[in-house]
Amino acid sequence: MLDNCVNTTERFLTSLNIEYTKKYLKDCVLSHPDHPSLLSIFDTLKKYRIDTLAVKIDLDKLKDMPMPCVVQVEENNQHMFFVLQNISNKNVSYYGHGDKRIDIDLKDFSKQWTGVCLLVETNENSKEKDIEKKLFTRDLQNVLMSSIILLILVWGIFNFTASEVFNNVPLHLFYTIACILLKIIGLIVGVFLLWFEVDQYNPTLQNFCTGGAGSKINCNAVLNSKQAKLLNGTLSLSLLVFSYFFGSLACLMISGFSLNVLSILGWLSFISLPIIPISIYCQAVVIKQWCKFCIIIQAVLLAEIGVSFFSDFYKNTIGYETIPLLLALLLIPMLGWKLLRPLLEQEKEVNVHKRGLKKIKHNPDVLEGLLVKSRKIKTSTEGLGISLTNAEAKYHVIKVCNPYCGPCAKAHPALEDLVNAGKINLQILFTARSGEDRMRKPVSHFLAIDEKGDSPKTQQALDDWYLADQKDYEVFAKKYPMNGELKQQSKKIESMRAWCDAEHITHTPTIFINGHELPKEYSVEDLREVL
């Protein structure tokens, strides 16, 4: 079913003209520990670098607020969220559960509204993370898919214009085109039927598959009935429909629209005749519900029978040598779907489990409970390394790292963002040794820069080192020149090394939060969400 928080966030980003990908957005909203809530929308918008402010105000003040905004309403004793587009002295325009804009009277809206709204302000940096790369990948896939379809279409047109049917009686040409169009319609419906099998609660499918109150249109009831399952449920009517239209259309195109193949397909359409009354009986009498997809397929099959009969295609010589190819093309989709469907369902199941896992991991109470059980620091870190502090930070994070460590470099941006957001104090310790150790030079430089007491400059130096593609100490040293200060850092390096030995630090980065080691189930990137 369509999730209100997801739908509201999608509609809101669209109203703000911010590009997004549905998968990333759904993961952010559905994996939030407090989903469904306004906080799940609030925190998701923050990931798009959108400034947000949740307020509770009177109706008179709402008119002066910047639009669009998210409002909280109460429906059936539940809190829901709508995207408010416009408000005047008499009317309110908003997007509710779908993509349709709704206009209602201001008094009616005031009865639903709880007084809570979410205000936003975008800037030039407001966008989804790596959106350019994601959009390029999506566009490339669309181009490839369109190119494949176009090439098959061009190949089919060349085959068709060179076929004996095209150069035959004009009436035969008309019936052949009609046959091809019916096969394409049936194939498209078959694709939707297979889509229904793996994602029957998709809003697009549900909008088509269900009627209004009191309606007998219900694709779910028909397609999920035992009458729609064959061979103990291992074969479905949906798959048979797709296989029939795919195999017959493919065989027709491969054969160059041969009259012999048209003859076989004509007889095949006659064989399918009993399916129509059986399907109607099952829907009308047994299930007492109707499926729009099934009705379309019945109409297509009936039209195919009519085309085969009036065109006299079935009177042509049957090309028996083509029958094995036709049977193979009918069976290929069945085998392919049996292999593909588990992968599609597995991906869907994995996404559900991943979101559920994130929802648990990103709960601060869960992290704090695990931290209490993890290894605790026994030796004081006071006065060691580099400290970046915030007056109101709730968490004290210690990062033990190596200046040449790749994972340490990847962890740096996440921890720095948390520092800049005021959520953590960060203390950075290094595993370098005094003497000729390779790590000593850059670590001495970091400590010398920090010794000057210029915190922004220290952060910039760490950025320049860790965010660089190649760690070149000579280039770094020229950017931050020193006059003898490096030699004064040996004692600090020895103290950090002694602490690392005392705490048995075996790998970098090692992260401690409020004196306890970060559980192995968490990555540094997870801290962006949970802290």
pLDDT tens sequence across 328-352 = 888 898 888 888 888 888 888 888 8
In this prediction, residue 211 carries a pLDDT of 62
Show Cβ contacts of residue 447 under 8 Å, excluding neighbours closer than 6 positions: 385, 386, 489, 492, 493
Q: 397, 526 in Cβ contact below 8 A?
A: no
Q: What is the largest CA-CA distance in the chain?
A: 100
- Residue 268 above 80 pLDDT? yes
- Residue 512 above 90 pLDDT? yes
Q: What is the distance in angstroms between the CA of the first residue and the CA of the last residue of the chain?
A: 31
Give the per-residue SS3 of 143-175. HHHHHHHHHHHHHHHHHHHCCCCCCCCHHHHHH
Is the peptide bond preceding residue 274 cis, with omega within 30 degrees of 0?
A: no
Give the pLDDT band of residue 264 (cuts 50, 70, 90). Answer: confident
- Kind of pairing between the strands at 395-401 and 424-430: parallel
In this prediction, residue 516 carries a pLDDT of 93
In this prediction, residue 167 carries a pLDDT of 61
In this prediction, residue 212 carries a pLDDT of 57
User: C-alpha distances in angstroms, 499 versus 1, 90, 406, 487?
Assistant: 54, 69, 22, 21
Give the pLDDT band of residue 262 (cuts 50, 70, 90). Answer: confident
> CB-based burial of residue 145 (10 Å sphere; 0-12 exposed, 13-18 middle, 19+ buried)?
exposed
Task: Please state which of the ranges 91-100, 332-341, 380-389, 420-429 shows the lowest mean pLDDT.
Answer: 91-100
- Radius of gyration for the chain, computed over Cα atoms and rounded to the nearest angstrom: 33
405/171: higher pLDDT: 405
C-beta contacts of 466-470 below 8 A and 24+ residues apart: 466/403, 466/408, 466/409, 466/412, 466/413, 467/409, 467/412, 467/413
Q: 189, 249 in Cβ contact below 8 A?
A: no
- Residue 309 above 90 pLDDT? no
User: C-alpha distances in angstroms, 222 versus 197, 244, 283, 388?
Assistant: 12, 20, 7, 63
- Residue 318 above 80 pLDDT? no
Q: Using CA atoms, how far apart are residues 486 and 490, in angstroms rounded to an integer?
A: 8
In this prediction, residue 426 carries a pLDDT of 92
500/482: higher pLDDT: 500
* 130-157: average pLDDT: 86
Give the pLDDT band of residue 165 (cuts 50, 70, 90). Answer: low
In this prediction, residue 170 carries a pLDDT of 57
In this prediction, residue 511 carries a pLDDT of 92
pLDDT tens sequence across 197-230 = 887 777 777 777 776 555 677 777 777 777 777 7
pLDDT tens sequence across 56-81 = 888 888 888 888 889 888 887 788 89
User: C-alpha distances in angstroms, 450 versus 432, 466, 476?
Assistant: 17, 16, 15
Q: Is the pTM of this model over 0.85?
A: no
Q: Using CA atoms, how far apart are residues 357 and 31, in angstroms rounded to an integer?
A: 8
Task: Please state which of the ranges 28-32, 342-346, 392-396, 492-496 shows the lowest mean pLDDT.
Answer: 342-346
Task: Please state which of the ranges 203-212, 416-425, 470-479 shows the lowest mean pLDDT.
Answer: 203-212
In this prediction, residue 260 carries a pLDDT of 80
- Residue 152 above 70 pLDDT? yes
Give the pLDDT band of residue 164 (cuts 50, 70, 90). Answer: low
- Residue 163 above 70 pLDDT? no
Give the pLDDT band of residue 471 (cuts 50, 70, 90). Answer: confident
- Residue 405 above 70 pLDDT? yes
Determine the residue type at 281. Y
In this prediction, residue 436 carries a pLDDT of 67
In this prediction, residue 513 carries a pLDDT of 92
In this prediction, residue 103 carries a pLDDT of 85
In this prediction, residue 427 carries a pLDDT of 92
Mean pLDDT of the chain: 85
Q: Using CA atoms, how far apart are residues 203 and 383, in angstroms rounded to an integer?
A: 58
Task: Please state which of the ranges 166-170, 437-441, 442-446, 498-502 shows the lowest mean pLDDT.
Answer: 166-170
